Amino acid sequence: MAGVQPPELAIEVSRAGGLGSIAGATLSPDALRETIRSVRSELGELPFAVNLFAPPFSPAASFDVVLEERPPVFSYTFGALDPAPFRERGIVVLGTATTAEEARALDVDAVVAQGAEAGGHRGSFLGDELVPLAELVPACLGDAPVIAAGGITTREDVRAARELGAAGVQVGTAFLFTPECRVAREHLEALRTHESIVTDAYTGRAARMARTPVIDELLAGPPPLPFPEQRAVSAKVGPLYLGGLGAPRAREIPAAELVRDLLGSVD
């Protein structure tokens, strides 16, 4: 959700009973600190999370900000990192896994199991395998609770994930369609009407997005540069529209209403 999620969305999600998350990966360290303080001032004692890319994809100073500001929860993707400094400050740590092997490589308080259905960049760091959520969640079960991510759009999806053994769910694409996210209409329509594809052609790192003519042009071109350099090159060709397989079922309702609906599946 980095780059498309304003902090207001995190605030609304936490107020409604979910765990709102600050998409910090594309923020400068100073902007990240300001955003954390702004969200905390609005939420008071309500919990929230901060998400970053694992080193070296987010600057070291951003991790220092997290340690200094001490949000209740810190989550990361694209690798594994030492959780000790965060735990010492009372921060709950979540890490992303796209395979059972990656889940075993993480030392975290909860594993976010990112299924093949998930939109946006893949959190892979030990391979590029696309494992459906129905297979991934059971495979990741172990000492740490598992949070299911990928295609979660309705309360029935939440119920199915819980039946697989997930302790909770992480939702991204469904929130793109809420007014708080303020995503452009063309982005939403692209996710609804175009085929979905996982490719590194746009950013240099595998990501699920709408397969538009821009993507086809990039697929026909030279191999992509490493992430994130390729994105600057691709932006000259045209926009990309990140999103998951749940997009065609997503509803244009307020974020709080979506959270309450998803929570309706929880006994």
Q: Where in 31-182 does DSSP place strands (E)? A: 48-53, 73-77, 92-97, 110-114, 120-121, 146-149, 168-170
What's the pLDDT at 267? Answer: 54
What's the pLDDT at 266? Answer: 60
The two tokens of residue 223 are: 């191999």
Averaged pLDDT in 10-residue chunks for the chain of 267 residues: 89 97 97 98 98 96 98 98 98 98 98 98 95 98 97 97 98 97 95 97 97 97 95 95 97 97 78
Contacts of 18 (CB under 8 A, 6+ apart): 171, 259, 262, 263
What's the pLDDT at 255? Answer: 97
Cβ neighbour number for residue 264 with a 10 Å cutoff: 11
Taken in order of first residue, the domains within the chain and their CATH numbers are 7-181+250-263 (3.20.20.70), 195-235 (no CATH)
What's the pLDDT at 128? Answer: 85
Helix-helix angle 133-140:155-163, to 10 degrees: 40
